[in-house]
């Protein structure tokens, strides 16, 4: 199982969603793919995830890929990479990135939903858990 996440300019949606996933699911993916529209953001997210895994004393393999934001380009990258049973986190994705997932099946899509945006600038564990939902859909 691979954990695939999207990140554009702001890394915090992807970090918070990933943190929620590992804390709530108690699942620590060993293979993570970061799809980024800005390489700098992807590299920063990679660094933050490695810090989390180091603190948890877990091993991880992370691959960061820069993608164009056009739907066909993202669709081609996803088609060549995603396998049955993979988890795709769309919290940090742009609309064009999400549209590229329309053809997939046998994957889980996750999204960290905030019911109150007043806490959006805070880290996952610094926000009231009652105002956050980790949504998961099997497609």
pLDDT digits (tens, 9 = 90+) for 47-99: 999 999 999 999 999 999 999 878 998 999 998 999 999 999 999 998 888 99
- Confidence at residue 137, expressed as pLDDT on a 0 to 100 scale: 94
Q: With 90 as the cut, is the pLDDT of residue 115 above it?
A: no
The label of the residue with tokens 């993916």 reads 29
- The highest-level CATH class for domain 2-138 is alpha beta
Instruction: Say how many residues make up the chain.
Output: 139
> Quick one: what percent of the chain has pLDDT higher than 70?
100
Q: Which of 38, 44, 25, 40 is nearest to 108 (CA)?
A: 25
User: Hey, where are the domains in the chain?
Assistant: 2-138
Query: What is the reported pLDDT for 33?
Result: 98
The residue ranking higher by pLDDT, 8 or 64, is 64
112-121 burial by CB neighbour count: b if 16+ within 10 A, else e?
Answer: bebeeeeeee
């Amino acid at each position: 199982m691979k954990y695939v996440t999207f990140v554009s300019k702001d890394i915090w949606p992807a970090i918070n969603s990933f943190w929620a996933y590992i804390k709530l699911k108690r699942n620590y993916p060993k293979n993570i793919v970061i799809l980024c529209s800005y390489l700098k953001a992807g590299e920063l997210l990679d660094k933050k995830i490695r810090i989390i895994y180091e603190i948890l004393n877990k091993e991880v393999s992370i691959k960061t890929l820069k993608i164009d934001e056009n739907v066909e380009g993202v669709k081609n990258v996803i088609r060549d990479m995603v396998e049955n049973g993979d988890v795709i986190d769309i919290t940090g994705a742009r609309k064009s990135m999400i549209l590229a997932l329309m053809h997939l099946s046998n994957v889980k899509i996750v999204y960290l939903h905030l019911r109150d945006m007043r806490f959006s600038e805070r880290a996952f564990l610094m926000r009231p858990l009652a105002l956050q939902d980790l949504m998961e859909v099997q497609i």
